Structure 1
Amino acid sequence: MSEDIKRILIVDDEEDLCEILQFNLESEGYNTEIAYSAEEALQKDLSKFNLLLLDVMMGKMSGFKLIDIIRKEKKLDVPVIFLTAKSGENDMLTGFNLGADDYITKPYSLKELIARVKVALRRSSSVSKAKKNILQFNEMILDLEAKTLVIDDEKVELTLKEFQILRLLFENKNKIYSRDEMLETIWGDNVVVTNRTVDVNITRLRKKLKQYGEYIKNRPGLGYYFAT
C-alpha cells in the first residue's frame, strides 16, 4: 500500500453508521478500519493510523476514556475527531481538554465530516514534516534544516563539523561509531585528516553541550556514541 494513502480508524458501536462512514471515506481514497468498541480499538496498533474517529458513548469504555489512554499511557499524538450525540458545551470542552483535534455532533453532514477529516490530516502532515527536521532530547534541540543547536532556550554556536558529529550521534543514539567511520562519513575520502581530529572535535563539542556533554560516551577501542 502506498505511504501516501491515509489510514483512518472508526471507533463506534453503531454498525450501520460505521459502514456508511467507511464507504464514504474509502470513496475519498482513504484506507479505513472499524472497531466497534474502545476495548477493540486498544487491541490494534494505533500508531499505524493517521486519524481516529471516535464516538463518546460506547459500552463499558467511553471515547473520553479511550483518548485519555491514547494520550497519557500510549503517548500517541495521532489526530482524533469525536463524532458524538453529546452536544453539550461541557462535553465538547472535555473532548478538547483530553486532546481531541475536532468535535463534531450528530447528526452531521458527510460533506462537512470529510472536509474536517481533510483539514485534520493536512494539519497533522504539516506538523509531522516539521518534527522530522527537529531532534530533541530534554531541553536540547537540534534543528536539522537551520543547522542550529539550542540548549535551555539559548543558542549554542557550533562549527559545521561539530554539528555534523552531533547529528550523526544524535540521530543514531546508542550506536557506536569508530573514528574511521566518523572520518569517512563527515570528512569524506578526499580530505586527509587523522583520528586525532575526531577526538579534538568531540572534546570541543562536549564542552559546548554543557550538561549534555556527558551523554557523548567513548567505548575504548570501539568509538563514540550518544548514550540514552
Structure 2
Amino acid sequence: MNDYHILVVDDEEDLCEILKFNLENEGYRVDTANSAEEALRMDLSSYHLLLLDVMMGEISGFKMVSLLKKEKKTAQIPIIFITAKDTENDTVTGFNLGADDYISKPFSLREVVARVKAVLRRTQQEETERKPELLVYKTLTVDIAKKKVSIDGNETPLTKKEFEILLLLLQNKGRVFSREDILARVWSNEVYVLDRTIDVNITRLRKKIGIYGKCIVTRLGYGYCFESE
C-alpha cells in the first residue's frame, strides 16, 4: 500500500468498482462516489487525485471541477476526466478548467493506471519543487527556512535532531516511520546510533511541544507518526 488516496466519481457503479479494484491492486487507497453531489459532501482535500466522469446528473464533472478550483483547499488537487465525450471542444474545456489529463471511453485499464501514475509522479515532483517555507498545524508553526518552531507565536527551542524529527513527522502526517526510517533520514550517515536514541529524542520532543506532544503517537511494533487531533 502506498500513500496516495484516490477518489473515483462516476454514475456507473460497475465502472467505479472496476477502477477501484484495479487501482487498489496497484497499491492505491481508493474511494468511490456515484455523483458529484455525493463527492462534494466528502473531505475532498484528503485526496491526492480525482478521477471524474463528465456527464453526471445535475452537477457535471466540469461544474464540479470549477467549484473545486474556487476553493483554496481543493484548488491544487490533480484531476483526470474519464468520459465518453471526446470532441476537441470538450477536451479543451477540461484542460481549461485545470484538468491534468483526459481519458476517453472506452479505455483500457492499463492506460488508466499508466495515466494515474504519470499524473501523480508529475504533481509530486511539482510539490517537491515548491516546498513551503512554513508548516502549520493549528497553533504549532515550523519555519523550515529559519529552523525554528513556535507555539502560539512563542518560540520553542529544539535541538537539531528534535527539529528534524518533528519536521519529518509533520510533513508526513498519518504516516508511520519505523526507528530505522527515522535513523536513516535524521541521523543519515552517522556511524553508530542506538534505537534508544530515537525514543529519548521523541520523549524530549513531546515535552517541549506541550499540548501537541500527544499528536506524536507510538505504533507498537511499527514506529512513530504525527496524528491530527
TM-score by length of 2: 0.60
Partner SS state of residue 148, structure 2: helix
1:132: Cα distance to partner?
2.2
Give 5+ residue unaligned stretches, structure 2: 136-142, 161-229
Q: Is the CA contact (8 Å cut-off) linking 2:82 and 2:102 kept in structure 1? A: yes
Over residues 104-131 of structure 1, what are the superposed CA-to-partner deviations in whole Å (9 max), with x where a residue is unaligned?
Answer: 1101111111101000111111122222
- How do 1:115-130 residues align onto structure 2 when only pairs under 5 Å count? 115-130=114-129
Match of 1:25 among 19, 23, 26: 23
Paired position in structure 2 for 1:58: 56
Letter in 1 for 2:39: A
Match of 1:72 among 51, 70, 73: 70
Partner SS state of residue 132, structure 1: coil
Partner SS state of residue 13, structure 1: coil
Over residues 17-62 of structure 1, what are the superposed CA-to-partner deviations in whole Å (9 max), with x where a residue is unaligned?
Answer: 1111111111111110000000110111111111100000001100
Q: Which is higher, the Rg of structure 1 or of structure 2?
A: 1
Give 5+ residue unaligned stretches, structure 1: 137-142, 148-163, 187-228
CA 133–60 in structure 1, closer or farther in 2 if over 3 Å, else same: closer
2: distance between equivalents of 1:98 and 1:32?
24
Over residues 72-94 of structure 1, what are the superposed CA-to-partner deviations in whole Å (9 max), with x where a residue is unaligned?
Answer: 13542111000001101111111
Identity between Structure 1 and Structure 2 (%): 55
Paired position in structure 2 for 1:34: 32
Kindly tell me the number of residue pairs found equivalent between the two proteins: 152
1: distance between equivalents of 2:73 and 2:89?
25
TM-score by length of 1: 0.60
Partner SS state of residue 85, structure 2: coil
Query: Cα RMSD over matched residues?
Result: 2.5
Letter in 2 for 1:105: S
